[in-house]
Amino acid sequence: MQVALVGVTGYSGMVLYRLLKQHPQVDEIHLYGHADAATVPLKTVATMYQEETAEIRPFDAATIMRDDAVVFFATSAGITRQLALPLIEAHFPVIDLSGDFRLHDPQQYQHWYHREPAPAAALAQASYGLADIPATLTTYIANPGCYATATLLGLAPLVQHQLIDPTSIVVDAKSGLSGAGKRATDSSHYVAVNDNLSLYKLNQHQHIPEIMQQLQQWWSAVPAIEFTTTLIPVTRGIMATIYAKAHQPLTTAQLQATFNDSYQAQPFVQVLPTGMPTLKDVVGSNNCALGVDYNPVTNTIVVVSVIDNLMKGAAGQAIQNFNRYFELPVTAGLPTLPVFP
């Protein structure tokens, strides 16, 4: 199978390229950049690919639809809404790692992303690809955001089974620096990040509306969540610590049974029998590790959800959606073991 990849030079694009190179069903990868850019060898823009002979060509939708079976967009927000319309009109398979088509409501996109949205008719053709909770996929698959993936996988059994007070959800999410992308800012310099913790985008993170959109599809009684994001001095990984009040008293064993039932058919979701997961349990893999606990004194459920933001939170989940769409083995081309130490 021949596939196209737009945006190979970012962190998610680099990881996606590596996964596609080792995928058993991918024979050739065609790389594309900006439509008005010249063709350049991959090794000139990404020094770790000195042995690669691939070239990055100017984006051309007609060429992609002629030569490839699917196109991946590993681009920043605002790019695919400009490039993807001909592909949507032709019902050509797209897997989009950006946030441009995750939200159904154009006004929500404009409010949270501070950009012009794609046309409502185009947004309506996109499906939200939360790969470990399978739903029907359209030809345009909007890959979930990294924070959204960790949070939704941690909340799904609680919300779908209505085990909590829907007004009580609090999420304290922490991410490594690679989640901010390659572009350096004052807050991402080594001296700002090392030996430090800092909250950012308080009540303004762009993954909040997609989390709410999905939660309300599962249970319309969820009105809002409290969601905070913290930058931590590690390269990769997200830990979302989720708190919610139980609808009625239960036990940790009952919680674990519910989570195990929810994810028993999902090879990339691991519910720990005891204790709480760490980032080292998942970094380098496409796994999500979950720990659950119930405190009878405060009637509080705690769920800890950890993922690798560049794998399960981006490129790995994109490959998982690729496998689902083309009805390939779910684990094809994906690492199931973390990198340790």
146 is catalytic: yes
CA distance 1 to 23: 10
DSSP state of 102: T
DSSP state of 53: -
Q: Judge contact between 187 and 231, C-beta under 8 A.
A: yes
Q: Please give the angle made by the CA atoms of 328, 331 and 334, to the nearest 5 degrees.
A: 115
Residue 15 amino acid letter:
V
Give the list of residues 6+ apart from residue 119 with CB closer than 8 angstroms, or none.
Answer: 85, 106
Q: Which of 236, 215, 224, 336 is nearest to 280 (CA)?
A: 236
Distances, alpha carbon 39 to alpha carbons 42, 114, 143, 273, 295, in Å = 9, 31, 28, 52, 59
Residue 196: other Cβ atoms inside 10 A:
11
Q: Residue 327, exposed/middle/buried by CB under 10 A (0-12, 13-18, 19+)?
A: exposed
SS3 191: helix
Q: How many CA atoms lie within 13 A of 283 on its CB side?
A: 15
Q: State CA 174 to chain mean position distance.
A: 15
Task: For 234-279, give the DSSP string.
Answer: -SS-EEEEEEEEBSS---HHHHHHHHHHHHTT-TTEEE-SSS---G
SS3 166: coil
Active-site pick, 16, 69, 146, 290: 146
Helix (H) or strand (E) holding 304: strand 300-307
What is the set of active-site residues? 146
